[in-house]
Amino acid sequence: MPAYALAHLRTLDFNDEVREYLRRIDGTMEPYGGRFLVHGGQPQVVDGELPGFVVVIEFADTERARAWYDSPEYQAILPLRLRNSEGGAAILTGVPEGYRAASIAG
């Protein structure tokens, strides 16, 4: 089942450290089959509040997403983002093809 690494960056100081992070992140994802689905565009908020930027990276499964996040290559650049942004990140498990929300309603 696909998995997604999601980051919501409420603030970002776009400086030389962030530029270095951006130059290096693609190489950290390649061995784990990660690909950007959403990368930093301002969301078109339709209700509530969602300040900042959203990033979504797709992986084949949760194990590969977690292996990427925990990899020495990504951990080496992670402080560049953490020092220069406020927000959070998570790994999410996708749903199978044909999934319907009503299935969990009972």
For residue 66, which of 18, 21, 33 has the smallest C-alpha distance? 33
For residue 55, which of 10, 105, 102, 1 has the smallest C-alpha distance? 10
Q: How far apart are CA 23 and CA 55, in angstroms?
A: 16
Q: What is the pTM of this model?
A: 0.93
- State the 10-residue block means of pLDDT for the chain, 106 residues long: 96 97 98 96 91 96 98 98 97 94 88
Cα first-last separation, the chain: 22
- CATH numbers and ranges of domains, the chain: 3-96 (3.30.70.100)
